[in-house]
Structure 1
Amino acid sequence: MARRQLSAATLIQCAILLVLVWSKGTAAISLEGKLQQLEEKLESKLALVEAQNVHLTGKVTQLELQLQQQDEIKETLAFKVDQLESLLNALQKNNQRPTVLSEWKDDQSAVVTSDGMPTSCRDLRILGHLWSGIYSVMGNHSVETVYCDFTKVLDDPGFEKWIGYTDVKSARTYFYVQRETDFKVLNTPIPFEIERLNVGRAMDLTSGIFTAPRTGTYFFSFTGMGHFITSSATRVYVYMGLFLNGDKIGSGLVDEANTVSYQNSPLMIQSTLNLKEGDQVWTAITTVTTGMYLHDSTNHYTHFSGWMLDEDIYQSR
């Protein structure tokens, strides 16, 4: 009986040991699963936090940009406020200046031109200009540049300062033409065969006549070459003329005495003219001795050029 009881106790102990071993194994497996679950949850939380961080960074950047834009708007508004304060101070300082247009009515007899173009700083002020600065106004014959100080009264010497003329042309005009053959016809506008430049199309090559497209001041230059074909013991010559509307207004001459055969001599005519719109200018041979002429070839000895220096804008309007 004692041996059997011992054996039973031993069996019980063994059973208890098996239960303990099984319990520990199950617990270990359960803990490992929970640890893996925790790691997965932690990774998910970290990814969410990182996404939120990226979103917050974008929001911060956007806010910084908005703040920068607001600062720029504030600076612009501050600058405009300074401008308005300066204008207000100027107006308060100059309490003699009329503040409404009707108070200027006595000065408007000589205000603007018939087409509304200002002729002075006074005109500009009447038209509503408030800021001092450099302006273009219509002068007697051309556009002029003036400085207007609108912080001063009208009779102040510094109210208007004349600066100079403005180069304004309503039509660009300049030409340069040439011949390449001889010419000897008397009292006839010299035609041209080559057009190097003819901006404004005021020069007609076929007729040799320039027609002024606008009233103004023009410059002309003609160069030719007289050709002496035979020897002579007496004086020989070629007279050239510059014509305005049929009247000779300038001359050029090349002559020679006791000349040898085939001698060439250049001649030149230059002039600055005040022309009205539609005036015509040309060159022509006026007098020539027998056997002489204007010589030309592919070397182009005969040149005629001209351009508008200044336009009388007042007459052109």
Structure 2
Amino acid sequence: MAHFSVSSLTQVVLLLVFICWTPSLTGAAFSLEEEFLQLKENYIQMKQVVTSLESTVIEQQAKVTQLEAKVEQQVSLLTSLLREKNERTAAAATDSVPSYPSAVAINGLPSSCGDLKMIGHIWSGFYSVMGSAKMESVYCDFTKLPEDAGFQKWIGFADVKSAPVHFDATRFLSFNEIATPIPFEATRVNEGNAMNATSGIFTAPRPGTYFFSFTGVARLRDSSDFWCSLKFKGIDINNNNWITGASYVGENNGPVDQESPLTLTTIGKLEKGDQVWVEIYYNNSTGSSSFLREDSRQFTHFTGFMLEEEIVASL
């Protein structure tokens, strides 16, 4: 704000008086004394006006100073309020996070929500934990204490495999050897390389539950029966050469000369190293020429895959 001094205001007033005062050519002539007195009176009045203006300026400056002081107070108050608000927000955010003791190590994989809490988990949600033989899915509510109802809810088993295992082996040529594993010329897929096509033997790479299936076409000649069997050889010497599944076709009316499909499926638990294969049988005491028929259409298929893995034994 501009500031006016008394001298500057006096000069302005005298200039205005000088400009505005013009002797009238038509009016009565004033004497110099009268003119001087008139000017003196005007000067006094102007000086009073200047004094009044100076007083007003001083008052306005005081008000401005007061307003500046109030603004500074408001700024200080606003800054304090904002700081307090930020502190409360930070405190509220901290309070919303559950407070737990420092994480501690456990032996092995976590098997419960309690174990997960011990190793440092604080957010409620779905987790995988180790069951007695398989991975299990649970919901953990970490807003509750371990002894509270609902702290852990069991959801089900989690389909976890350390590695996939599945195969599909096939033949291109007919086969007539009995009581021997059927070899295969090709594998369409052999994930995990557990199926040895040349020997015809599948070796379980990990313990678990497996599914097996065999399909083929039996050509009966001179023999009235023909069957295939899925055989098992366990790593336990007391569990060798078990027949775990079989398929049979027969013809009692001669002369025998026919074709018939063979199918079998089975599901079983295997230990690591257990072996499974397929064999054919028929009565060849009279020199039968029966066989497992094959051509470019590939009737013969031996397939298998791991349904569930006993993940505990694989860790």
TM-score by length of 2: 0.64
Q: Map Cα deviations across residues 97-125 of structure 1 (whole Å, 9 max, x no partner).
A: xx5469x9xxxxxx95x4x3100000001
Aligned counterpart in structure 1 of residue 97 of structure 2, from 57, 62, 87: 87
Counterpart CA distance in 1 for 2:301 and 2:90 is: 60
Q: Does the C-alpha gap of structure 1 residues 262 and 297 become closer, same or farther in structure 2, counting only changes over 3 Å?
A: farther
Larger radius of gyration: 2
Residue 228 of structure 1: how far off its partner (Å): 2.0
Residue 291 of structure 1: how far off its partner (Å): 2.4
Aligned counterpart in structure 2 of residue 303 of structure 1, from 301, 304, 308: 301
The match for 1:236 is 224
Q: Does the C-alpha gap of structure 1 residues 181 and 219 become closer, same or farther in structure 2, counting only changes over 3 Å?
A: same
- Are residues 1:253 and 2:229 paired? no
Q: Does the C-alpha gap of structure 1 residues 258 and 79 become closer, same or farther in structure 2, counting only changes over 3 Å?
A: farther
Counterpart CA distance in 2 for 1:249 and 1:229 is: 27
Preserved contact between residue 175 and residue 198 of structure 1 (Cα < 8 Å): yes
The match for 2:260 is 265
Q: Does the C-alpha gap of structure 1 residues 79 and 229 become closer, same or farther in structure 2, counting only changes over 3 Å?
A: farther
Alignment of 1:1-317 (within 5 A): 83-88=93-98, 99-100=100-101, 112=106, 114=107, 116-229=108-221, 236-245=224-233, 246-259=241-254, 262-289=257-284, 290-317=288-315
Structure 2, unmatched stretches of 5+, are 1-86, 234-240
Counterpart CA distance in 1 for 2:254 and 2:91 is: 85
Counterpart CA distance in 2 for 1:299 and 1:267 is: 15
Q: Map Cα deviations across residues 71-97 of structure 1 (whole Å, 9 max, x no partner).
A: xxxxxx999876533225xx5xxxxxx
Preserved contact between residue 218 and residue 261 of structure 2 (Cα < 8 Å): yes
Preserved contact between residue 127 and residue 138 of structure 2 (Cα < 8 Å): yes
Counterpart CA distance in 1 for 2:306 and 2:242 is: 20
Q: Does the C-alpha gap of structure 1 residues 86 and 161 become closer, same or farther in structure 2, counting only changes over 3 Å?
A: same
Structure 1, unmatched stretches of 5+, are 1-76, 92-98, 105-110
Counterpart CA distance in 2 for 1:142 and 1:134 is: 16
Counterpart CA distance in 2 for 1:310 and 1:126 is: 29
What secondary structure does 2:154 align onto? strand
Aligned letter for 1:160? Q
Q: Quick one: percent identity of the two aligned structures?
A: 43
Give aligned pairs, total. 219
Q: Does the C-alpha gap of structure 1 residues 284 and 127 become closer, same or farther in structure 2, counting only changes over 3 Å?
A: same
Counterpart CA distance in 1 for 2:182 and 2:250 is: 20
1 or 2, which has the higher helix percentage? Answer: 1
Q: Map Cα deviations across residues 212-262 of structure 1 (whole Å, 9 max, x no partner).
A: 0110010000011110235xxxx7111211111022222111111215664
Q: Does the C-alpha gap of structure 1 residues 100 and 82 become closer, same or farther in structure 2, counting only changes over 3 Å?
A: closer
Preserved contact between residue 180 and residue 296 of structure 1 (Cα < 8 Å): yes
Residue 134 of structure 1: how far off its partner (Å): 1.1
Preserved contact between residue 207 and residue 272 of structure 2 (Cα < 8 Å): yes
Aligned letter for 1:174? H
What secondary structure does 2:225 align onto? strand
Between 1:216-225 and 1:290-299, the stretch displaced more is 290-299
Preserved contact between residue 227 and residue 282 of structure 2 (Cα < 8 Å): yes
CA RMSD of the aligned region, Å?
Answer: 2.5
Preserved contact between residue 217 and residue 275 of structure 1 (Cα < 8 Å): yes
Counterpart CA distance in 2 for 1:186 and 1:81 is: 80
TM-score by length of 1: 0.64
